[in-house]
Amino acid sequence: MNSVAAREIPQRSLGRREWGVLGLTLLFWLFDGYEVYALILTMVPALHSLLGPSQLAATPRYAGFLVSFTLLGWATGGILGGIVGDHIGRRKTMIWAILIYAVFTGSSALVGSWWALALTRFLTGIGIGAEWGVGTSLLAETWPPEARTKGAGLLQSGFSLGALIASGIWWLLGGQLGLSWRWIYVIGILPALVVFVSARKIPESHQWIQAQKSSVKLSVIWKGRYGRDLLVGLLVSISITVGWWAISSWVPSYVGQIATQAGLKSAYYAGLAGILYNIGEIAGCILFGFLADAWGRKWTTALYFIGSLIITPVVFMVVHNLALVLWLQLLNGFLTSGLYSWYTIQPPELFPTAARATAVSVIFNGARYLAMFGPIVASVLIQTFGGYGTAATVFGLIYILGIVAALLLPETKGQPLPE
């Protein structure tokens, strides 16, 4: 029996420590989802209040810049956070990352120009990215192998739950009460308060502590089979990330446009679309973990990609009825965002503990350097084609890359974490 499996045998029962790690990381994932989706929901009304009259016609382009700056910060913070997390530990990195994104989300409520909002979103992205890789690694290293996949699916659903809460808050504040978009960012300061209360309860990974004594170096992820898996994992990540930010991030704006054309309140229906999308996303993330245990990591991922390839043109081109488009967001969220559970399930199973946070962060965040151009290009295509349908369908072809790349990765079902 290898040493990894031997170390994991005592952790086979789920106790207070394991559930505590899931609870805390899921809570911070919830805040991640809230911070990200707050921008998706409010970027159009925010820009309408921050841009001059002559700039309003180019609102989709400015919206693309806001999303791209967030992704740039997310990618940069994610890679740096992974490296730092492998050097100083999961716990300390998580605490600092959460404080960064909470403070700058709150600062977004105070801006007076679109470029100031872009700056605060960039800094928010740094914190979100830095927290992601170390949180994923902490859960994978804490939970026993027979429960790890399901725990990872539950963890990823926290992000979706945060986005759902943001959608509900915007539906209430903007759609029902007619309040300013700034209030949704004021609420984003809450993670900082949670850290002050719970920082001492965040445990350090025992596997990371043991890995500090091993001879495995961080550079191992660039070589041999680890290097190959890193590259193929990046291709999967590019497909998920570019697909979401270039397509799904436009769902509230797209539904809001349909509502406006029908003479209905845009904020109300945009918020409702976000609620339904994120309900589907929560179900998709949780079920991904169960299916990955039953069918394996490769085929579960490939089937989600196939579903995403099909649902995208259906939502954006085939169906034009507002009610039906709204209900389709349940399936759309299940597939296109349910894919995000892949990040918390398979990448941690591919790399050794000493380099796990770095490898996971490179896979998850490296794709964002490419994805940051997706919203900008998509906004140009939306203006060029006069609507969302063709632009979304063109970008949807990226899911074909995901299908191929997912099937090229090794199957890790039932295997212990590498040393």
Residue 215 covered by a domain: no
Residue 25 covered by a domain: yes
Residue 146 covered by a domain: yes
Contacts of 13 (CB under 8 A, 6+ apart): 144
pLDDT reported for residue 2: 39
pLDDT reported for residue 247: 79
Dihedral sign, CA of 295, 297, 298, 304?
Answer: positive
Contacts of 145 (CB under 8 A, 6+ apart): 8, 414, 415, 416, 417
Q: What does the DSSP assignment read for 349-412?
A: GTS-GGGHHHHHHHHHHHHHHHHTHHHHHHHHHHHHHTSSHHHHHHHHTHHHHHHHHHHHSPP-
pLDDT reported for residue 168: 85
Residue 9 covered by a domain: no
Q: How many helices (H) and strands (E) does the chain have?
A: 19, 0
Instruction: Give helix 114-142 / helix 145-170 axis angle, nearest 10°.
Output: 160
Measured CA angle at 194 (ends 190, 195), to 5 deg: 115
Contacts of 374 (CB under 8 A, 6+ apart): 68, 242, 245, 246, 395
The total of structural domains in the chain comes to: 1
CB 378, CB 197: distance < 8 Å: no
Range of the domain at 25: 16-202+220-408
Residue 8 covered by a domain: no
Residue 62 covered by a domain: yes
Per-position pLDDT tens, the chain of length 419: 333 343 444 445 677 888 888 888 888 888 888 888 888 888 888 888 888 888 777 787 788 788 888 888 888 888 888 888 888 888 888 888 888 888 888 888 898 898 999 999 999 889 888 887 788 888 888 888 778 888 888 888 888 788 888 888 888 888 778 888 899 888 888 888 877 777 777 888 887 787 776 655 667 778 788 899 999 999 999 999 888 877 777 788 788 888 888 888 777 888 788 889 988 988 998 999 899 999 999 999 999 999 999 999 998 888 888 999 999 999 999 999 999 999 989 998 998 887 888 888 888 888 877 776 766 676 666 666 666 777 778 888 999 999 999 999 999 988 887 77
pLDDT reported for residue 1: 34
Cα separations (Å) of 254 from 41, 212, 259, 320, 388? 11, 49, 9, 11, 7
Residue 325 CB-half CA count within 13 A: 26
Residue 214 covered by a domain: no
Q: Which CATH number goes with the domain that contains 257?
A: 1.20.1250.20
Whole-model pTM: value is 0.76
pLDDT reported for residue 283: 92
CB 46, CB 117: distance < 8 Å: yes
Residue 210 covered by a domain: no
